[in-house]
Structure 1
């Protein structure tokens, strides 16, 4: 299970990094084109915006899987270790459910409004809007991996 989790972390990190690389590359190309050649790239702003959306979706799941998401640790740190482990399982279960809700809501959103064509790049907005669904699916997978790890650690007597 640890190999699967490690591979998923690498995948999310790679996809997040690639998204940021696309953002920087497109913004740089757009800036050079605009200020050096006085000819702006019409598509660069939309591509950068959509790459940021995908990067955020992958980054959220990556941060959650690493345990580096925003938490109220001042409250959690005052609890006994056994209660913290139980609370972590509740949070992971809630994330699993909310990730599923996010994936479903993104799917409905993309299905209803995905046919609109993006003016700058000429593709259907479905490809940008489906990022919400992909982000939800990534959160669901991350929550399943964390729950499996917590259950495995509890059954073997290890720390969660």
Structure 2
């Protein structure tokens, strides 16, 4: 199930970045070749980038390529390293829950406003926080069982 989830995240991240690329390219061509700028392009590119960041964050977490302090990971005994990895996964779980909840509250308060460029409700764009938080919680739930089965990834010191 985890490999399928990672493929979904990779597809969602790539699709978001493709939307950003396509919108910026189209906007540039329209502006400089036809002197007819797209009014909604900056808004769509910005929110596409936010969605891409949310999906990419979770993918980096699952692949263990996120930013971290290497001296903590490689400079401590194996038992401490396992505790640090467990703490990392618990923190990711909590952070995802807080992100999803605060995003939900934000959508409730400001989601009814229409975006000026597209005319779509801002809840479509602000939901990126909720989706990113839920995706991070799911990813942390995939990571946590490994700590209790004795299955560890990475280099043991």
Q: TM-score, normalised by structure 2?
A: 0.94
Residue 92 of structure 1 deviates from its aligned partner by 0.3
The structure 1 segments of at least 4 consecutive aligned residues displaced by more than 2 Å after TM superposition are 149-152
Residue 75 of structure 1 deviates from its aligned partner by 2.4
Residue 130 of structure 1 deviates from its aligned partner by 0.8
**Residue aligned with 2:118, SS:** coil
Query: Is 1:112 aligned to residue 105 of structure 2?
Result: no
- Taking the aligned partners of 1:86 and 1:20, their CA distance within structure 2 comes to 35
- Taking the aligned partners of 1:16 and 1:149, their CA distance within structure 2 comes to 25
Residue of structure 1 aligned with 2:100, choices 103, 107, 130 = 103
Query: Is 1:68 aligned to residue 65 of structure 2?
Result: yes
Residue in structure 2 matched with residue 6 of structure 1 by the alignment? 3
Residue in structure 1 matched with residue 32 of structure 2 by the alignment? 35
Residue in structure 1 matched with residue 84 of structure 2 by the alignment? 87
- Taking the aligned partners of 1:12 and 1:115, their CA distance within structure 2 comes to 28
- Taking the aligned partners of 2:67 and 2:147, their CA distance within structure 1 comes to 19
- Taking the aligned partners of 1:150 and 1:16, their CA distance within structure 2 comes to 28
- Taking the aligned partners of 1:138 and 1:93, their CA distance within structure 2 comes to 14
Residue in structure 1 matched with residue 15 of structure 2 by the alignment? 18
* Deviation sequence 1:92-125 (CA, Å, 0-9, x none): 0111011101100000001100111111100010
Q: TM-score, normalised by structure 1?
A: 0.92
**Residue aligned with 2:39, SS:** coil
- Taking the aligned partners of 2:71 and 2:80, their CA distance within structure 1 comes to 14
* Structure 1 unmatched runs, 5+: none
- Taking the aligned partners of 1:113 and 1:159, their CA distance within structure 2 comes to 43
- Root-mean-square deviation (CA, aligned residues, Å) is 0.9
- Taking the aligned partners of 1:122 and 1:64, their CA distance within structure 2 comes to 34
- Taking the aligned partners of 2:152 and 2:95, their CA distance within structure 1 comes to 25
**Contact 2:146-2:152 within 8 A present in 1 as well:** no
- Taking the aligned partners of 2:123 and 2:2, their CA distance within structure 1 comes to 29
Residue of structure 2 aligned with 1:143, choices 140, 146, 150 = 140
